[in-house]
Chain A
Amino acid sequence: AQKVTQAQTEISVVEKEDVTLDCVYETRDTTYYLFWYKQPPSGELVFLIRRNSFDEQNEISGRYSWNFQKSTSSFNFTITASQVVDSAVYFCAIPNQAGTALIFGKGTTLSVSS
């Protein structure tokens, strides 16, 4: 069965520090997608990235970067030079077996202080 584990429940950093959020997944599929979402205090989930298991190149978008490693079943998310506005709950997700819905990890709460 599909499963996502985010072992870090809460992380606190000071502004400008780099921070990495861990995501480990389980799947029986040979090809699959992985996702990251951000949930700011307002509550709405914001889509950040979708990654295909075919592509193991690291992805960078501004201060955000993602490290996908199929060998360790991990899809980690790094924020460089964190800012207070990065404070949120971050979720990693994978489609269910049928591909019809996303299964989310329990999330990591990131607090960035000034």
Chain B
Amino acid sequence: SQTIHQWPATLVQPVGSPLSLECTVEGTSNPNLYWYRQAAGRGLQLLFYSVGIGQISSEVPQNLSASRPQDRQFILSSKKLLLSDSGFYLCAWSPTMNTEAFFGQGTRLTVV
């Protein structure tokens, strides 16, 4: 069966520090991969998605970037965090287009 791992679960980082969140999927190949952000009391905002290695689509211009160095690995990064980057970050995967996505447990990021 397929599983998705996302870490860390919580993170407190100072303003201006770098960020690296990692997500890996097991039990499937060539998944579509996603990063979403959920600000406090708000809905889910799609940040990035990837349909293959090295293929990244950005949905919202921001202080963040994403990379997919391996088929089942998706990384969310920032060189310098802003206070507004605080939120709940969720990684997800889907087997193909127009199908349900399966989510990791999320990372709660607080920038102080």
A residues sitting closer than 8 Å to B (CB atoms) are 32-33, 35, 42-47, 50, 91, 95-96, 98-107
Contact = CB atoms under 8 A, between A and B. Distances in A.
Interface residues of B, number: 25
Contacts of B97: 95, 98-100
Given A35-B100, A95-B98, A42 B43 contact: no
Contacts of B74: none
B89 to A, nearest CB: 10
Chain B contact residues, majority secondary structure: strand
B101 A47 contact: yes
A35 to B, nearest CB: 6
B40 to A, nearest CB: 12
Given A101-B34, A106-B43, A42 B105 contact: yes
Nearest to A36: B100
Residue with the highest number of chain A CB atoms closer than 10 Å, among B34, B57, B92, B98: B98
B102 A47 contact: yes
Interface of B: 32, 34, 36, 42-44, 46, 49, 51, 57, 59, 88, 90, 92, 97-106, 108
Contacts of A35: 100
A43 B105 contact: yes
Nearest to B102: A47
B57 A107 contact: no
A95 B101 CA distance: 10
Contact of B108 (A33, A43, A100): A43
Nearest to A45: B103
A101 B46 CA distance: 8
A35 B98 CA distance: 10
Nearest to A47: B100
A102 B101 contact: yes
Contact of A100 (B32, B42, B100): B32
Contacts of B100: 35, 47, 50, 102
A44 B57 contact: no
B103 A106 contact: no
Contacts of B49: 100-101
